[in-house]
């Protein structure tokens, strides 16, 4: 075959196009969706990890499957729902994330077909690489039903004939459970722990956006006699103590997992967020996890 200058140019352009395409694939923007039951659940369980991911260029979306309209002891359901919606909008500003609220009644979430399709839609539209939800053994029925809905969606997000108007995902996301209030006796150890020590205060600042919950509803429902601070600086310290450090305490069973992911830097880890892999989604090895969690030591 006679090679002309035009053919050489075409071949060179073809190789450039292949290399650019390969680069785009390897550097694909990672996308995380956290699907929880109520406005504030995602921030409390994953806020630090979300901040770290965001700083690495990941796109983050928080979802509440209920409007939270019964999460207060004062006001009408509509007033509570509006207030909680406004708090999520403040979270969007502070964290630079997306936030969607599904208009289900607080305390009445059902793991039904309608809500399953809604979860499948959101995961597909977000083109998620990582999906995070509540553990199935959590204390609140809305949490447990949210977990079941996400589990049921884990395989179906890949099935084209299910919800065909929204294109199916071609590769399964990694599905994760957050740490719940109680221990799963069948799997007491987390699979992944993320060091959020460097962003403790940033997480506290994000949680602070949920004023109706942190400073009013939760102290009331928990019958707390603690004095709620009235200045921003002291409030951040209050959240650090009550919601970041307590929930992020490293338990004895966590230490081997911290050492696994952080190696020689494990001694510097003071506060964590812990996750368990849901086996209904993407099967991963340690290398896959390190690629999805670039904050881990290589």
Give the alpha-carbon dihedral of 86, 38, 81, 85, to 10 degrees: 20
* Separation between Cα atoms, residue 280 and residue 288, nearest integer Å: 16
Q: For residue range 82-109, what is the model confidence (pLDDT) as tens digits?
A: 999 999 999 999 999 999 999 999 999 9
* Separation between Cα atoms, residue 209 and residue 47, nearest integer Å: 12
Q: For residue range 33-76, what is the model confidence (pLDDT) as tens digits?
A: 999 999 999 999 999 999 999 999 999 999 999 999 999 999 99
pLDDT at 16: 35
Name the β-bridge partners of 59.
31
User: Rounded to two decimals, what is the model's pTM?
Assistant: 0.89
* Separation between Cα atoms, residue 48 and residue 53, nearest integer Å: 9
Tell me the domains of the chain and their CATH numbers. 29-292 (3.40.50.10320)
Point out the least confidently predicted range of 19-28, 68-77, 203-212, 278-287.
19-28
Q: Give Cα 105 to chain centroid, integer Å.
A: 22
* Separation between Cα atoms, residue 7 and residue 19, nearest integer Å: 18
pLDDT at 15: 39
């Amino acid at each position: 075959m006679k090679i002309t200058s035009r053919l050489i140019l075409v071949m060179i352009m073809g190789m450039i196009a292949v290399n650019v395409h390969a680069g785009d694939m390897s550097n694909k923007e990672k996308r995380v969706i956290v699907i929880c039951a109520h406005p504030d659940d995602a921030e409390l369980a994953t806020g630090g990890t979300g901040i770290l991911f965001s700083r690495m260029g990941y796109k983050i979306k928080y979802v509440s499957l209920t409007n939270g309209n019964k999460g207060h002891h004062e006001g009408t359901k509509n007033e509570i729902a509006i207030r909680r919606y406004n708090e999520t909008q403040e979270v969007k500003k502070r964290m630079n994330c997306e936030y969607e609220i599904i208009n289900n009644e607080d305390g009445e979430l059902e793991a039904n077909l309608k809500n399953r399709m809604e979860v499948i839609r959101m995961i597909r539209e977000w083109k998620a690489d990582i999906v995070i939800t509540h553990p199935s053994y959590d204390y609140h029925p809305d949490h447990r039903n949210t977990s079941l809905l996400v589990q049921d969606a884990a395989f179906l997000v890949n099935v084209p004939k299910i919800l065909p108007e929204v294109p199916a995902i071609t590769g399964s996301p990694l599905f994760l459970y957050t740490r719940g209030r109680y221990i799963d006796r069948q799997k007491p150890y987390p699979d992944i722990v993320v060091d959020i020590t460097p962003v403790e205060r940033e997480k506290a600042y994000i949680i602070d956006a949920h004023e109706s919950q942190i400073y009013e509803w939760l102290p009331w429902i928990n019958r707390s006699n603690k004095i709620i601070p009235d200045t921003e600086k002291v409030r951040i310290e209050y959240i650090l103590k009550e919601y970041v450090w307590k929930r992020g305490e490293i338990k004895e069973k966590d230490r081997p997992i911290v050492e696994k992911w952080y190696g020689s830097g494990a001694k510097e880890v003071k506060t964590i967020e812990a996750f368990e892999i849901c086996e209904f989604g993407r099967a991963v090895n340690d290398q896959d996890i390190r690629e999805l969690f670039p904050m881990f030591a290589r």
